[in-house]
Amino acid sequence: MDFEYTQSEQNFRSEVRQFLDENLPAATDRGPDFMEHWLKKVREKRWVGFSWPKSVGGGGGNIMEQVILKEEMSARKAPPLGTCMMGLAWVGPGIIQYGTEEQKQRFLPDILDSKYHWCTGYSEPNVGSDLAALQCKATRDGDEYVINGTKIWTSLAPFASWISMLVRTDNFGETDNKHDGITALLVDLSTQGIEIKPIENMAGGKVFAQIFFDNVRVPIKNRLGEEGHGWAVTISSLANERSSIGEVAGLYTKLEKLTELLATSQWNGQAAITDKKIRRTLGRFEAKIEAMRLNGLRYLTKQIKGDPLSSETSVNKLHRAELEVEMGDFAVEKLGEAGLQLRNQEDAVRSGYWAADSLNWPTVVIGGGTPNIQKNIIAERILGLPKD
């Protein structure tokens, strides 16, 4: 075991730190044009899409450099490296692996330049965890596909310009070969026949939507990968695991806030943090977050040694899901009735941060596979238990 960094890794870290010293003013000193300037600067550095190959405009950073960049950015609570989140995390890597030359040239630069948002269309009203049973269909008509159907719970759809979506082009109504006949399409959301209806979530946000497709015509050249092989495209982009480093930094920050909250909130006339059970729970949160950090390093070591990751990443996904649910809920419980007040309500604590947090966890916990699905993955693929 060795937690040392090589000279070139250390140099890279210094480079990132120096960049941050020069380009990241304190939050209170940021002017209205800060974000535009920031995005331009990090783009020049090729830190947007840092893991992408240089040939498509990415940074070509190796695994350790990606880790260092994330660590330093998280440590300084820097704004994101590019705002086209879905494009950077899911759509771009899919296009890099399966896209035509034309698709690469058309879409990748816009993602890197944070020009507009992408969203990803997977779930349907009757299709959630059993994604391969999807029914939204596309039929060929000349050099176009015609889409009819609907997608739902599509995150960022109210703000997005394009969607990368799965449709069924074959094997309609079959249950045995349901993974065949799925096709991935890249669709301009301003195309005629598309209607986006935002759905308000329980926290009051309108970040996901239902999308209706009524005879929507999409050129065949916007197909990603081969017809009928969209499942492979999806699997490979889902397998394009993000490391959990940014998440761990975020959870540590949240735990610090939670500890501070409980040290300064009174319960029965005493600081809440003096309570033994509260202390034990905080300790448990810390152990889980640290376990996530160290699990991440162990899995990273595997990757560096050239062993591909399989289902181990479900371990940290489950920890994260639990922590996201429990930390907010714990804060709200310990604040008593004051914990129930949202922003702008009279006695809101910390501007209602924890109240909102206790309602916002489903974004993280349900999106990308529910905890029950993660447990199935571990039980079946790692432990070898029979499939459901």
Binding site for another protein (CB under 8 A): 1-5, 9, 64, 67, 256, 259-260, 263-264, 273, 276, 279-280, 282-284, 286-288, 290-292, 294-295, 297-298, 300-302, 304-305, 312, 314-315, 318-319, 372, 374-376, 378-380, 382-388
Instruction: Provide, rounded to whole angstroms, the least separation between the CB of residue 385 and another protein.
Output: 4
Instruction: Provide, rounded to whole angstroms, the least separation between the CB of residue 253 and another protein.
Output: 12
Exposure string of 340-376, with b = 16+ CB inside 10 Å and e = fewer, is bbeeeeeebbbebbbbbbbbbbbeebbeebbbebbeb
Instruction: Provide, rounded to whole angstroms, the least separation between the CB of residue 104 and another protein.
Output: 32
Instruction: Provide, rounded to whole angstroms, the least separation between the CB of residue 184 and another protein.
Output: 30
* C-beta closer to another protein: residue 158 or 369: 369
Q: Distance between CA atoms of 45 and 359, rounded to whole angstroms?
A: 37
- Check residue 340 and report its DSSP letter: G
Q: Distance between CA atoms of 373 and 130, rounded to whole angstroms?
A: 10
DSSP reduced 3-state for 214: strand
Q: Which amino acid is residue 19, in one-letter code?
A: F
* C-beta closer to another protein: residue 215 or 301: 301
The encoded tokens of residue 357 equal 């947090």
Whole-angstrom distance between the N-terminal and C-terminal Cα of the chain? Answer: 39
The encoded tokens of residue 126 equal 């009757």
- Which residues participate in catalysis according to the annotation? 241
* C-beta closer to another protein: residue 291 or 340: 291
Contact between 369 and 317 (Cβ < 8 Å): yes
- Check residue 58 and report its DSSP letter: S
Q: Distance between CA atoms of 92 and 99, rounded to whole angstroms?
A: 9
Contact between 149 and 213 (Cβ < 8 Å): yes
List the one residue out of 56, 47, 54, 106 whose CA is nearest residue 82: 47
List the one residue out of 200, 207, 209 whose CA is nearest residue 165: 209
* C-beta closer to another protein: residue 23 or 295: 295
